[in-house]
Chains A and B, each alone.
Chain A
């Protein structure tokens, strides 16, 4: 598989996607408030437009396969 772990960044904030763990259940696509998640032709998740991402973390909270994790600068985290 191409790129099993993909890093998307927007300034200091990073969204890491472990595509090799994805089972293609669509739960995150349903949960994402900005509609920027999509399955590719192999049935694995990818981010279509990271600039729209608000780093809410709902994908990381909902994914049963632990595909998402957030890296946030301290200023965002403390809110």
Chain B
């Protein structure tokens, strides 16, 4: 377990990912990336899908990365990671590189590159069982190209391709539950975390690094431009998403669910929606039914998750040390 002081101190050593990048002010992505990379003790190789992170950290001739870093295309981050990992194994077998210090392969992809475009390559790589950690920073739309809707965009959110107006109330479809799709691949570690809970994310990264085979972490990361909130509220809004149970923090170990953070008081989803400009139209007169619908959906998912965690509680009691 890393303490916050250790994470803060590692900063000064200039380990993996540095400042000077051109991500927006108040962006949540670097918070997620730094916490993940600083929690891994072994050397890392980073594979990046196309997205804000890739574009803003590697503007020629500068780079924010202090580790081997690879970017191929939007849709094949996981396939590229599979190739790197297979090459690493082959080189160890030939004795070209020593195997005394294992390397961790980390893939970063946005929700566009994970939920939509990269889903096939990710699914393939998980099925083949390559040893890597896939971290999806989910900011709920294609923010890099100008806030287009993705399958991670929540119901009712206004984006440039699902605008709110007289004919539309924003995105009319529900968001995809990617964490459940990843669980269906029967990999040993799947988790959902948020940038607001650094300890949670750090612990989950450590578990993911120790998992046999691929691991997947879905991290909620806010985007002040697309969500239309003040840059200073980045972390608070991510925290509120957890407290309203819109984004529950849980992990799935070998198919068994475990809640890692239960809010002391489950807050109304309204409090979270109110903080963001993309949901502003939901508070207009006549749109109360939408708020009701969103609240019911959140409640349904939350209760289902609680039920699932209760069923699986026995497994974690029996298991003394998992990972």
Distance, CA A56 to CA B21, complexed state (A):
25
Residues of A within 8 A of B198 (CB): 61-62
Binary flags per residue of A23-67, CB closer than 8 Å to B gives 1, else 0: 111110111000000000000000000000001111111101111
Q: Are B7 and A25 in contact (CB under 8 A)?
A: no
Asked whether any CB of chain A lies closer than 8 Å to the CB of B194, the reply is no
Q: Are A61 and B30 in contact (CB under 8 A)?
A: no
Interface of A: prevailing SS: mixed
Please classify how large the interface on chain A is, using the bins under 10, 10 to 19, 20 to 34, 35 or more: 20 to 34
Interface of B: prevailing SS: helix
Q: How far is the CB of B41 from chain A (nearest CB, A)?
A: 16
Distance, CA A10 to CA B58, complexed state (A):
36
Query: Which residue from chain A places its CB closest to the CB of B21 in the assembled complex?
Result: A65
Residues of B within 8 A of A72 (CB): 5, 9
Q: Are B30 and A66 in contact (CB under 8 A)?
A: yes
Asked whether any CB of chain B lies closer than 8 Å to the CB of A16, the reply is yes
Asked whether any CB of chain A lies closer than 8 Å to the CB of B87, the reply is no
Distance, CA A31 to CA B195, complexed state (A):
13
Q: Name the contact of A70 in the complex, choosing from B12, B18, B236 (C-beta under 8 A).
A: B12
Most buried by B among A26, A29, A62: A62
Q: Are B11 and A30 in contact (CB under 8 A)?
A: no
Residues of B within 8 A of A26 (CB): 26, 230-232
Residues of A within 8 A of B6 (CB): 77
Asked whether any CB of chain A lies closer than 8 Å to the CB of B309, the reply is no
Residues of B within 8 A of A67 (CB): 19
Q: How far is the CB of B237 from chain A (nearest CB, A)?
A: 11
Distance, CA A55 to CA B4, complexed state (A):
10
Q: How far is the CB of A8 from chain B (nearest CB, A)?
A: 14
Q: Are B23 and A61 in contact (CB under 8 A)?
A: no
Asked whether any CB of chain B lies closer than 8 Å to the CB of A76, the reply is yes
Known: A61-B7, A70-B9. A21 touches B231 (CB 8 A): no
Q: Are A69 and B7 in contact (CB under 8 A)?
A: no
Q: How far is the CB of B23 from chain A (nearest CB, A)?
A: 7
Q: Name the contact of B26 in the complex, choosing from A27, A66, A77 (C-beta under 8 A).
A: A27
Query: Which residue from chain A places its CB closest to the CB of B27 in the assembled complex?
Result: A64
Residues of A within 8 A of B25 (CB): 23-25, 64-65
Q: Are A61 and B35 in contact (CB under 8 A)?
A: yes
Residues of A within 8 A of B165 (CB): none
Binary flags per residue of B20-51, CB closer than 8 Å to A gives 1, else 0: 11011111111100110000000000000000
Query: Which residue from chain B places its CB closest to the CB of A64 in the assembled complex?
Result: B30
Q: Are B26 and A68 in contact (CB under 8 A)?
A: no
Distance, CA A26 to CA B28, complexed state (A):
13
Question: Which B residues are within 8 Å of any A CB, using their own CB?
Answer: 3-9, 11-12, 17-21, 23-31, 34-35, 198, 230-236
7 intermolecular pairs with C-beta atoms under 8 Å apart: A25-B234, A56-B4, A57-B8, A60-B11, A67-B19, A69-B12, A70-B8
Question: Which A residues are within 8 Å of any B CB, using their own CB?
Answer: 16, 18, 21, 23-27, 29-31, 55-62, 64-72, 76-77, 79
Going nearest first, the 9 A-B pairs with the smallest beta carbon separation are A66-B19, A57-B8, A26-B232, A23-B25, A60-B8, A69-B12, A25-B26, A25-B231, A25-B25
10 A-B pairs besides A58-B4, A68-B11 with CB distance below 8 A are A23-B24, A27-B26, A27-B234, A30-B233, A56-B5, A57-B8, A61-B7, A61-B35, A76-B5, A77-B5
